[in-house]
């Protein structure tokens, strides 16, 4: 059932992104008088298709991993004399540039719409208050300490942990000073803390910015009551059930899931633990052997169980929402920031400051799609916005085969007054195709490696 849900969320997300992208090409092509032969969502044989009055075929194909808009073009097939004026290749270069650019632009517009909707609906988030700060770490050396509320990083407001992490990700691989503004929670003046960075997390395969600085988030005391048990996991094998309250681990009394139970489990990979649980008013002794998994190059234990839902204190929750007008610049700003972050991450990946192992493929996208859909509408909309921005940015890269590569050809034609030679364009397409296939295979390899880990 979980696999089906993940597949459904992935199909919905990718289907929406591809439809919006291709509709951008389609809409501008129609406005420029180009005849559109086919608008397909997906590749391969059509599962369902229909035609409109202008003869365009609309199709939903079997392989939902992309799509295309096929236009009338003499370079692909002979065009009747009476339709030559509607051929894409016969249009002025400015119109061809507009048609090609419209797809990525549509993706940015989708991201703006998603961020706008999130801003209007509002979100409830956790106030970014620090928990214990690890000694002898960059954060501790800068003077940061427990119970400080992070107000801004490098001048950008951080009303939630999500914003904190985004600002930290921007500094991956860099050397310099991280400017942190913070104040005592529930009062106090804002102070500046200068955290020194030196090739910070350069080349890290799975960077964890917060812990790398020595920071942790404040956590409420969470009763160790089991909420979910994964079928076939160590917890299920030991007989743990939803509703069980863990009261002791190896004879030591426990009352906090995060501070006591989780560390004990993580430190006991493939080593039997004696746990005491309270169930229906009775005390039961169970033998639990956590399975082992790799986490940041360290083997830790896990049991395949989650804690029961709990309430955060009111002063640690924050409501963030905007009226429809104010939400417009908020959405524009978020889209701009995420576009800049995507471009910066690509640059750092090419220069080795960020590990190419962070490149993700369809498997990771599917996992994130499923997880975000489970987390609620706001999380799923955010995922759609981020993925749409990534698709827009990647398509604008000057690589033949991609929209950006076609734009390079047409801009060169506009400057020269004539198209590039067929020979040069063919070479470019071959190189571009090889590059794209290579990157896709590497991304899929990264996905499989993560699954193995």
Distance CA 390, CA 383 (A): 11
Rounded Cα distance, 111 and 390, in Å: 10
From 22, 149, 163, 260, the catalytic residue: 22
Residue of 214, 216, 218, 217 lying closest to 138 (CA atoms): 214
Q: Is residue 149 annotated as part of the catalytic site, yes or no?
A: no
C-alpha Rg value of the chain to the nearest Å: 26
Q: Which residues contact 278 (CB under 8 A, 6 or more apart)?
A: 244, 245, 247, 284
| Cβ-contact 59, 26 below 8 angstroms | no
- Residue 133: is it exposed, middle or buried by C-beta count within 10 angstroms (0-12/13-18/19+)? buried
Residue 18: phi and psi, rounded to 5, are -65, -40
Query: Which sequence positions are flagged as catalytic?
Result: 22
């Amino acid at each position: 059932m979980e696999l089906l849900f993940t597949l459904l969320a992935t199909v919905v997300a990718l289907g929406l992104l591809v439809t919006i992208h291709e509709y951008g090409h389609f809409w501008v092509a129609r406005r420029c008088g180009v005849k559109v032969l086919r608008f397909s969502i997906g590749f391969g044989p059509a599962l369902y298709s229909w035609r409109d009055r202008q003869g365009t075929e609309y199709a939903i194909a079997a392989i939902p991993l992309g799509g295309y808009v096929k236009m009338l073009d003499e370079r692909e097939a002979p065009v009747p004399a009476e339709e030559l004026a509607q051929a894409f290749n016969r249009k002025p270069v400015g119109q061809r540039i507009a048609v090609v650019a419209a797809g990525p632009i549509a993706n940015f517009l989708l991201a703006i719409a998603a961020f706008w909707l999130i801003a209007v609906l509002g979100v409830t988030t956790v106030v970014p208050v620090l928990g214990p700060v690890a000694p002898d770490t960059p954060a501790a050396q800068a003077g940061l300490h427990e119970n400080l509320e992070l107000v801004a990083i490098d001048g950008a407001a951080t009303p939630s942990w999500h914003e904190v992490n985004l600002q930290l990700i921007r500094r991956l691989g860099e050397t310099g000073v991280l400017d942190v503004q913070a104040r005592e929670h529930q009062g106090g003046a804002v102070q500046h803390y200068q955290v020194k960075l030196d090739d910070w997390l350069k080349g890290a395969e799975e960077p964890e910015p917060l812990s790398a600085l020595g920071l942790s988030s404040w956590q409420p005391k969470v009763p160790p009551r089991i909420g979910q048990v994964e079928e076939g996991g160590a917890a299920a094998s030991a007989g743990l059930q939803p509703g069980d309250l863990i009261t002791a681990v190896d004879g030591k009394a426990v009352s906090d899931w995060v501070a006591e139970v989780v560390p004990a489990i993580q430190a006991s990979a493939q080593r039997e633990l004696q746990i005491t649980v309270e169930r229906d008013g009775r005390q039961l002794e169970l033998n639990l052997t956590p399975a082992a998994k790799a986490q940041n190059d360290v083997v830790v234990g896990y049991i395949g169980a989650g804690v029961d839902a709990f309430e955060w204190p009111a002063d640690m929750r924050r409501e963030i929402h905007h009226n429809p007008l104010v939400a417009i610049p908020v959405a524009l700003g978020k889209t701009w920031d995420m576009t800049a972050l995507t471009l910066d991450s690509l640059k750092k990946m090419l220069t080795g400051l960020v590990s190419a192992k962070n490149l993700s493929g369809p498997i990771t996208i599917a996992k994130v799609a499923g997880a975000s859909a489970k987390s609620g509408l706001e999380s799923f909309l955010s995922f759609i916005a981020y993925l749409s921005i990534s698709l827009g940015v990647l398509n604008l890269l000057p690589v033949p085969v991609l929209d950006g590569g076609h734009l390079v050809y047409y801009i060169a034609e506009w400057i020269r007054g004539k198209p590039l030679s067929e020979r040069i364009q063919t070479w470019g397409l071959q190189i571009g195709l090889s590059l794209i296939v290579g990157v896709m295979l590497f991304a899929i390899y990264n996905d499989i490696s993560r699954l193995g880990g």
